[in-house]
Amino acid sequence: MLDLESDPRLQFLFRIARRRVATGFVVAAVVFVFARPTWRSILMGVPIAILGESIRVWAAGHLIKGQEVTTSGPYVFVRHPLYVGSALLGLGFVVAAASLFVAVIVLGYLALMISVAIRLEEATLRAEFGDAHARYVAGKSPAGARRFSVRRVRENREYQSLLGLLVSVLVLCLLAA
């Protein structure tokens, strides 16, 4: 188990991570005010966001949180596919919003929150799974044979991200009308 008490840096990162979702809602509200979408920007940005959400769904369908180092699906190719998907979702939103201010805010938020989440996740996986995680990081874990599961997607609550994508696209479309 991760010992936050022994590392003040991890304590600080944990405090930031705990505010990630609430801060994300505030960021979303602010950026919708400054978004200047056009139908063209929406048509360019939404496919990028859909690609990001697709990667997230693929990853969520393989992930069993807290029980193992997942080595199947997109985890064969990248250590943090959920964050790759989130970055693409954010990039798609930035393109669709067509605002430099929105780009700075969203990309800054993503850079901070994803880097914090990755650091905490790596520390947690090291503490929980030791050698198995070290082998995975070194690229020496065999690819897992687990199949994609819609049940795991639901258990990992990926429907929340999908709903966020749909609402965001709807709001951008209303702003462009």
State pLDDT tens for residues 50-66: 999 999 999 999 999 98
Which of 9-13, 39-43, 120-124, 132-136 is the most confident on average?
39-43
Domain boundaries of the chain, sorted by first residue: 4-176
CATH 1.20.120 fits 4-176, yes or no: yes
Question: Mutual orientation of helices 20-34 and 8-18 as an angle, nearest 10°?
Answer: 50
As a whole number of angstroms, the distance between CA 110 and CA 83 comes to: 9
As a whole number of angstroms, the distance between CA 83 and CA 98 comes to: 23
Q: Which tens digit of pLDDT belongs to each residue from 76-95? A: 999 999 999 999 999 999 99
CA angle 55, 80, 97 (to 5 degrees): 55
What percent of the chain is predicted at pLDDT more than 70? 98
Q: Which tens digit of pLDDT belongs to each residue from 109-120? A: 999 999 999 999
Neighbours of 125 (CB within 10 A): 21
Name the pTM for this structure: 0.91
User: Tokens 């990630």 label which residue?
Assistant: 20
Say if residues 81 and 59 touch (Cβ distance below 8 Å).
yes
As a whole number of angstroms, the distance between CA 38 and CA 101 comes to: 16
As a whole number of angstroms, the distance between CA 49 and CA 124 comes to: 28
Regarding predicted confidence, which is higher, 172 or 8? 172
